[in-house]
Structure 1
């Protein structure tokens, strides 16, 4: 280690570089370079030595000698490949087609034609189970990716999504880099992450992505990796990705999931199970909540649970089991809407039919039709509305949730279309009541 440390310091001085400038050029941290020159800490990994050789502009025999000195240092055993996927759900139901498509996209026969990794954005309505599908696919496919699995929740549904620099730091540590070698800047971490992952075959699951910026920062470079992104939105700004839109389960699959969760009672009450699946909109999250409530109450019949959910005024509050709540799940994308989209969601849920077009939305909200269209499209992007040609459809549970939300936006007198997410100007959140449209 001392011989390599001395050679590193000698070459740095010959090139007229400070430790700080060498850190900038190599993408390593100043602290990491300082520790290497002191002969402390772990042995330099081959990729670290290669980054330093590149930054020092070493070539030919000088480069070969420098890299050879690094290999003479007794290496650490190194960490095991990361295995960060959460446990898979054993009763995943009705997603065989989606799993088969993901397996095909992850196939080496497909990836060999791509210079970069295969990236799939799995998106859909709130509660359709995008995370469950991505995790299950990751477990099924991990045998083809020997360098491990990375997983991170990007907190896209929270008021403060995860900073990509923080996520990069976690990934670099998972891939075996000590803290002293992790650059302090996002740009430096991106460069090092790309170098470290270039020749690896990884499954990377980016769960609950807020926007394209998060995903771009965390995409590996090499073509041997498979990236699964989950989001309420299709992340239309991402390039060179596949998109998998996930919808509610079919009615037979919804009934099947309830039978698995509830057990023998479901088999003896097929009509009640069918109605329960319908009242849950065949959304996996709602089905699991209803099924778990029944499973935790062995004295209840399925018909009793159906009777509780028939009342639209209490259906959402009933769909709660432990720390899972359908209303809380819907509140996540609702909290990120622009004021115009939130207004459209609330007003149309009360005054418009479940199936509507932009003209009806404009009449209901008081927005100009182009602005109403932009608001409806934003609701589609956030998984709160289903497009159907030129019309839009409210899932029943979303409609009930929207109707319960208090007013919070006053329609300004002057309405001016502008460019942007909602295409609407003068959006002033605050107290007041939604405008009444006659």
Structure 2
């Protein structure tokens, strides 16, 4: 039996009368508890209880789900809902009616977004594109996928964007770093369980059944106004269960992969910064006076960093810690040659830590292409690769697509031509050379990442 509810005056308003009818329907169904109804309706018990509370009219999806769970006729209850709303027109309703600007009192309001970047420049066109993608379809908010190569600043962009819009989602912000999840299909459902807990669903009320859990999660996003950021997504299966289209909530995904297998999303692609933006970022990091005094040297440092925000941020913070050193001296040292993995590392932040796992996860043929480019080739085409390796063009395209989705390669404006950032090429070549030297000296390498570089199905490719 459900707990005793507060009485309502069904004569006081159409909303109260509608709630009273819902209570009668529930009583006719045997008065199941709201927890029992939730397992069928796929809305949380609190949402269903509020629907019959008489304080406000529930959304149409909630009202129909409540009626279905109690054996009611959905068409009849849609008619009653329209009457309670005072809607006599036959037009299609919006999925969710307007709600107050503030979150419901007592409702959990998670604030899980990490702190956004302080030093940030540019991306105005990309921000405009992301906002347009969010508002492009009137009847629902479409998930936005932010993708781009290694080090291009996807997470920084997404955090900046979601923090800017946080006030539009007063019911909370949810965040998950998907790269921290283990590589099995249960990971998204584990993330989902954590999100449901954060939104107020008690652990013992999170459905064990996968479909019911997904249904409850999507229903709550439809009912509330929540921003969801899913960072560092590896592939489509890792994120597909967590996607939803909702009028109220917004989902943002970051990934090196294009995630072309996902339907119903809008994609925003990030590339390296422009020369002007790169210098602006260095000015923020090391001071306008130093960059203004040695503009040419600053530009050489930016070019060494491939205009990648991650590399520029590491370089800028390292240079900022050396206030007495001239930029021309640093630029000259970089031109002479440095170990990229060591130089572009500060604290626990490293470009190598972003590049090498992406490299290691590629198939052998894709690694071969990467080594061709790292060995000095400016660009490669599928046809040229197919001729050189005596493979089909389809296999060559597959290898290069794999590198694009690993964030290690990008297409240029001409069709079927592919480039790799020289900085990433240096890093791959230097780390590979280091492993080749060490392997002959020590067969018990203690660094699993570097040890794995030299092994492909066909041996190490030079």
Quickly name the TM-score band, shorter chain normalised.
Answer: 0.7 to 0.9
Change (3 A) 1:21 1:226: closer
Q: CA separation in 2, counterparts of 1:86 and 1:227?
A: 16
SS in 2 for 1:94: coil
State the partner residue of 1:46: 50
Gaps of 5+ in 1: 33-41, 65-75, 409-427
Q: CA separation in 2, counterparts of 1:430 and 1:48?
A: 63
Residue 246 (1) aligns with residue 270 (2): yes
Change (3 A) 1:339 1:58: same
State the partner residue of 1:102: 130
State the partner residue of 1:393: 419
Change (3 A) 1:431 1:373: closer
Count of equivalent residues: 385
TM-score, normalised with respect to structure 2: 0.73
SS in 2 for 1:198: helix
Cα shift at 1:101: 2.0
Gaps of 5+ in 2: 6-22, 54-61, 81-103, 436-454
Residue of structure 2 aligned with 1:293, choices 308, 313, 318: 318
Whether the 8 Å CA contact 1:156–1:209 is kept in 2: the answer is no
Whether the 8 Å CA contact 2:142–2:245 is kept in 1: the answer is no
Change (3 A) 1:281 1:151: same
Whether the 8 Å CA contact 2:297–2:331 is kept in 1: the answer is yes
RMSD: 3.6
Change (3 A) 1:283 1:15: same
Residue 378 (1) aligns with residue 402 (2): yes
Change (3 A) 1:253 1:48: farther
SS in 1 for 2:254: strand
Q: CA separation in 1, counterparts of 2:181 and 2:298?
A: 31
Whether the 8 Å CA contact 1:47–1:196 is kept in 2: the answer is no
Per-residue CA deviation, residues 169-190 of structure 1 (Å, 9 max, x unaligned), is 1111121212122112332210
Residue 137 (1) aligns with residue 151 (2): no
TM-score, normalised with respect to structure 1: 0.77
Change (3 A) 1:365 1:315: farther
Residue of structure 2 aligned with 1:330, choices 319, 343, 355: 355
Cα shift at 1:313: 5.2
Bigger Cα displacement from structure 2, 313-322 vs 203-212:
313-322
Q: How does 1:60-209 map onto structure 2 within 5 Å?
A: 78-107=106-135, 110-112=136-138, 115-155=139-179, 163-209=187-233
SS in 1 for 2:302: helix
Change (3 A) 1:47 1:136: farther
State the partner residue of 2:18: none
Cα shift at 1:340: 1.9
Q: CA separation in 2, counterparts of 1:374 and 1:220?
A: 30
Q: CA separation in 2, counterparts of 1:162 and 1:307?
A: 50
Change (3 A) 1:367 1:360: same
State the partner residue of 1:281: 306
Change (3 A) 1:308 1:323: farther
State the partner residue of 1:3: 4
Per-residue CA deviation, residues 269-312 of structure 1 (Å, 9 max, x unaligned), is 21111100010000000000000101122232222332332244
Per-residue CA deviation, residues 194-226 of structure 1 (Å, 9 max, x unaligned), is 221213222221111112223321123422322
Q: CA separation in 1, counterparts of 2:291 and 2:181?
A: 34
State the partner residue of 1:67: none
Q: CA separation in 2, counterparts of 1:402 and 1:385?
A: 12
Cα shift at 1:367: 3.9
Q: CA separation in 1, counterparts of 2:151 and 2:70?
A: 52
Cα shift at 1:346: 2.0
Residue of structure 1 aligned with 2:238, choices 206, 210, 214: 214
Residue of structure 2 aligned with 1:235, choices 259, 268, 278: 259
Q: CA separation in 2, counterparts of 1:221 and 1:405?
A: 43
Whether the 8 Å CA contact 1:122–1:243 is kept in 2: the answer is yes
Q: CA separation in 2, counterparts of 1:269 and 1:48?
A: 69
Cα shift at 1:333: 1.6
Cα shift at 1:323: 0.8
SS in 1 for 2:144: strand
Whether the 8 Å CA contact 2:227–2:250 is kept in 1: the answer is yes
Residue of structure 1 aligned with 2:429, choices 403, 419, 426: 403
Change (3 A) 1:135 1:164: same
Q: CA separation in 1, counterparts of 2:411 and 2:180?
A: 23
